[in-house]
Structure 1
C-alpha cells in the first residue's frame, strides 16, 4: 500500500464518515451498534465524529455487526490502516517547536511498559550524553534549549524498573564520529553504564560477520501498540497491528545477531579506547 502524506490526515475523516453512513444505511442506532460490538455509545460517537481513530479490530467488529459485504470490508479495512498511520515531517516539527515532539515521546514512554529501539545510524536521546544531544540539534536554526532540556529529562524513564527496554545499536550507530574523539569515548561509556541497569538490555551488532538482512531505518516499538519509523525528512507513526507486528518481527531478527551483556560491554570498551587513543 502506498501512503500519500496528504491523505493520511484526510483518511481519518473519510473513515469516520464511511462508518457513520454504513450504520445509517443499515437503519441502526449508535446505542444498538455499541451493544453489538461490546463498546460504549460514547466510543461509537467519537469514532463517527473522527475524535477517535478506531483500530482495525474495532472496525472489523463494526462491519460484522452491520453485515457489510466482503468487498466493502476490504475497502474500509484499507482505509482504516491509512487512518492509523501518521506522517510527521521535520519542517512542521520545527515550526511548532521541537519540545512538542519531546512531549509526545514522553507521552509514549509514560503509557508504555516495554520498549524496543533499533538504532541504525545514531544514538537515541535516552542514551545520549548532553554533548551528543546538543550536537544532534546543532544544525537546526533557532534556540533549542527547551528541547535539549526535555530530551535529558526524559532519560529518567530508564530508571523506572516497571518498564523494560531493549536497545539494539549497529556498530555504525555507536562509532559514527558525531563528536570529537574524547566526547565520543564518553558517549560510549554512557552506553556501557546504561547496559548495567537491571531493566535494560543493550545490544550491539558489530560489522564483520555475515548478516543476510539489511535494515533500512531506525525504528522504535512501544509495547505492541505503536511503531515509529524515522527518515531524514520525518517520522511515520504506525498503529495498525499488522505494521506493528512487522516491526516486532524485524526487531527479533536483529536481536538474534546482537551481542549483549559482557560481550557487548567488552566491544564497547574496545571502541571507547580507540577514540581515546
Structure 2
C-alpha cells in the first residue's frame, strides 16, 4: 500500500527518503517488506507522499497490527511450552536491559524448582523439559553485561503456590538474588498505594520490545510508543518499591511468616 501511494504521488523513492529524513535504502526496504516499519516510520512516509485522509487511518491500523503479536496460550501449549522457553532465551541473549513487573506470581528466572513445578501443575502433560529450560535460563542472571530490574508486589511474593516451608525457601532465594550487582529486585507491600491499577505481568527488553501476559496468552509490542507506555508505567511502580537492604528486610519478615 505504501509503495502504491508513492507511485500515485509521482515521487521517487529518493525524494520520499529526503522528506522523511531517512536513507533511500530504508525506504526501499520498507516498500519491499524487508523491514518492519514502526508507526513513526509509517506516519512520516504517509506525510511525505501526502496520502489522502481516508487511507491514513487504514494504513496506520495495518502498521499497528504489524508491530503487535498475539500468542494464544492454547497454541503455545500445542507447540510445547519448552519451545516458548527457547524463544525467551533468545530474547535474553539479544538484550542487555530487562524490566519485569510481577503483580501476581514470581517469574521463572527467580523461582526455585519446586515453585516452577507448582506454577505448571494446572496444565496437563509432562513439563520436565519446560522446567529444565526455565532453570537453565536462570544462568543469564549471572551475566554481568546484562542489567535486571524486578518489581514484585506483596501479592506475588506471598502467593502460597507451594507449601509454607517451600515458600520460605523461595523467599530466601529472592533475598539472596538482591546481592547480585547487576540485579535490582524490589518489592511493593500491600500498604503502599501504587499509581494506576496494575492489570498484568509485563516485561520490557531494551525499550524495544514489551510483552504483556494475559490468562489467555501473551501480547508482544514492538512499536516504540507502546513500549514507552510500559516504560513509563514501570517507572511509576519503581518509585513505590523497596530495594536493597529494605527489600531483604521485608522478604525476611515474610519468609519468617511462612516458617511460623
Per the TM superposition, whether the score is higher than 0.5 is: yes
Distance 1:188 1:60 in 2: 47
Distance 2:153 2:86 in 1: 27
Give unmatched runs, 5+ long, in structure 2: none
| Structure 2 partner of 1:218 | 201
**Paired residue for 1:155?**
138
The 3 A distance-change label for structure 1 pair 211 and 60 is closer
In structure 1, stretches of 5+ residues that fail to align are: 1-17
In the aligned structure 2, how far is the partner of 1:48 from the partner of 1:135? 48
Residue in structure 2 matched with residue 68 of structure 1 by the alignment: 51
Provide the C-alpha distance between the structure 2 equivalents of 1:104 and 1:247, rounded to a whole number of angstroms: 21
CA contact (8 A) 2:97 2:148 kept: yes
- 1:103 Cα deviation from its structure 2 partner: 1.4
Structure 1 residues 34 and 101 mapped into 2: Cα distance closer, same or farther (>3 Å)? farther
The secondary structure found in structure 1 opposite 2:91 is helix
1:83 to 59, 66, 81: 66
Alignment check: 8 A CA contact 2:148 2:182 kept? yes
Alignment correspondent of 1:94: 77
Specify the SS of the correspondent of 2:211: strand
Distance 1:45 1:210, change over 3 A: closer
The within-5 A match list for 1:68-217 is 68-69=51-52, 72-211=55-194, 213-217=196-200
What is the CA deviation profile of residues 242-264 of structure 1, one whole-angstrom value per residue up to 9, with x for unaligned ones?
11111111111111111111111
Structure 1 residues 110 and 276: alpha-carbon distance in aligned structure 2, compared to 1, 3 A threshold: same
Deviations 1:175-198 (A, max 9, x none): 000011111111101101111100
Residues 144, 20 of structure 1: CA spacing in aligned structure 2 closer, same or farther, 3 A cutoff? farther
Does 105-114 or 121-130 show the bigger shift? 105-114
Q: Does 1:52 align with 2:35?
A: yes
Q: Deviation of residue 160 (structure 1)? A: 1.1
The equivalences for 1:227-266 within 5 A come to 227-266=210-249
Q: How many residues align?
A: 259
Cα distance 1:84–1:212, how it changes in 2: closer, same or farther (>3 A)? closer
**Using a 3 Å threshold, how does the CA distance of structure 1 residues 31 and 96 change in structure 2: closer, same or farther?**
farther
Partner residue, 1:13: none
Counterpart residue number, 1:4? none
Q: What SS class does the counterpart of residue 257 from structure 1 fall into?
A: coil
Q: Tell me the SS of whatever aligns to 1:219.
A: strand
1:85-139 Cα distance to aligned partner (Å, 9 max, x none): 1111100001111122111111211121111110000000110111111111222
8 Å contact kept, 2:195–2:236: no
- Measured in 1, the distance between the counterparts of 2:45 and 2:193 equals 48
Alpha carbons 2:68, 2:221 under 8 Å: kept: yes
Tell me the SS of whatever aligns to 1:138.
coil
